[in-house]
Structure 1
Amino acid sequence: MEPDAIRSSYDVVAETYAGKFFDELSRKPFDREWLGQFARGCPHGRVLDIGCGPGHVGRFLMDLGLDVIGVDLSPAMIDVARRLNPEMTFEVGDMKRLDHDDGSVAGIVAFYSLIHIARADVPDVLTEFMRALMPGGKLLIAVHGGTGEITSDDFLGHQTRFAATLFEKDELARLIGDTGFTVDQTAERERYEFETHTPRIYIAATHEVA
């Protein structure tokens, strides 16, 4: 999907999405463990929560002591995030063109947001992540596992377009490594019973010091 289409879809579903997913980490111990590992290994500095949605992932990281900025393409979603997390910082932004200086962030988390990038554009997004990360900075990505793409004209009960790129673990790890990151850890888990039908893939990586 093009950025305008993604923005429009999430503007439509923002309130519904927040109601469904804001407390999801309470039921996802695997996700909490990976986020905890990220927090423990992240150097001091600003962390970007890319595709932050209602801010639940960033809030979890903030509670672990990180300085988090939530970034989302959807202005409506950012409005919801600010309302639910008034003590946090959020900004409307595009992961393809982050409004942050070279080497200025200590960590980037993209939890289930890279799925909205066309497969051919993923290397450019990863390059943008590397540009913004300081040497030694940490990257954590979670995606839906599989091959191909999922599309629907119904998104959380709203008549609006939804599309998601699926990734195989080795494929995404290779893309991250080819960008210049050191891949530290990968994992795949089966879905929890309350989740949609795909497995979940997690990759942690480091922008190594030159």
Structure 2
Amino acid sequence: MPDNAVAAAYDAVAELYTDVTRDQVATDRYGRALFTAFAEQVRGPVLDAGCGPGRITAHLRDLGLDISGLDLSERLIETARSEYPGIRFDVGDLTALPHADGTLGGIVSWYSFIHIEPTRLPAVFAEFARALAPGGKLLLGCFAEEPGAQPTPFDHRVIRAYRWAPDRLAALLSAAGLTATAWLVREPYPKERFRGVILLAERAEPDVSARAARVSEPST
């Protein structure tokens, strides 16, 4: 799905979308638990990649994170800036994060990458890995497919989206240099059609012991 089509779709329903997601954090008990676990592990600045109207960005800020938000939809970013003036929000896409290599301590992509065509998702995860510092954490949320299943398109209320099997996400992350450390599959909440997946991953730390061993080897 082209980024401009996704942006236009969310711009068209920005006011309604903001209203229906007003209780997004309060009604997601599993999400809140993983937000807390994520916040406890992160060191350094965090990006909410696909922040929408900023609900989760603000919740993570309240958990003590130095966080900013990014979204394709100009109207949703306008709403986020209005409701949370103390947080930085920018218009942008997940394939070109406005951050230098290795400068982020964490990235959250909460039901935002679901509109990306499966063939494009490896590039997005590679971009996440580029921007994350060694040891940086990634938190993903999406709708679930059965283990091993191919990503499945469905008629999302805004624009077409995809459900993902957690093991397939983990494999794509691994190819990008990110390691899945935990995932949770939950049953649908009221008014939801599908189960949800929450996945935590991290960028590998440098292998200090291996590097030290190489340095200590005698020269020939």
Name the SS of the counterpart of 2:160 in structure 1. strand
* Distance of 2:177 and 2:22 partners within structure 1: 33
Name the SS of the counterpart of 1:188 in structure 2. strand
Name the SS of the counterpart of 1:15 in structure 2. helix
Match of 1:175 among 172, 176, 179: 172
Q: Could you tell me whether the CA contact under 8 Å between 2:170 and 2:179 is conserved in 1? A: no
What is the aligned partner in structure 2 of residue 204 from structure 1?
200
Unaligned 5+ runs, structure 1:
156-161
Quote the offset at 1:88 in angstroms.
1.1
* Distance of 2:42 and 2:22 partners within structure 1: 24
The total of aligned residue pairs comes to 201
Q: After superposition, where does 1:51-200 map in structure 2 within 5 Å? A: 51-146=50-145, 147-151=151-155, 155=158, 162-194=159-191, 196-200=192-196
What is the aligned partner in structure 1 of residue 217 from structure 2?
none
Which runs of 4 or more aligned residues in structure 1 lie more than 4 Å from their structure 2 counterparts after TM superposition? Answer: none
* Distance of 2:204 and 2:22 partners within structure 1: 33
CA RMSD of aligned residues (A): 1.1
Q: Encode CA deviations 1:57-82: one digit per residue, 9 max, x unaligned.
A: 11110000001111001111100111
Quote the offset at 1:208 in angstroms.
1.2
120-129 vs 165-174, greater mean Cα deviation: 165-174
Match of 1:60, as an amino acid? H
What is the aligned partner in structure 2 of residue 42 from structure 1?
42
Q: Could you tell me whether the CA contact under 8 Å between 1:143 and 1:166 is conserved in 2? A: yes
* Distance of 1:141 and 1:8 partners within structure 2: 23
Q: Encode CA deviations 1:145-178: one digit per residue, 9 max, x unaligned.
A: 12410136x63xxxxxx11011011111111122
Name the SS of the counterpart of 2:26 in structure 1. helix
What is the aligned partner in structure 2 of residue 4 from structure 1?
4
* Distance of 1:22 and 1:110 partners within structure 2: 18
138-147 vs 55-64, greater mean Cα deviation: 138-147
* Distance of 2:66 and 2:4 partners within structure 1: 29
Unaligned 5+ runs, structure 2:
146-150, 207-220
TM-score (norm 1): 0.93
Q: Which has the higher contact order (CA 8 A, sep 6+)?
A: 1
Percent of aligned pairs with the same residue? 37
Quote the offset at 1:22 in angstroms.
2.4
Match of 1:19, as an amino acid? D
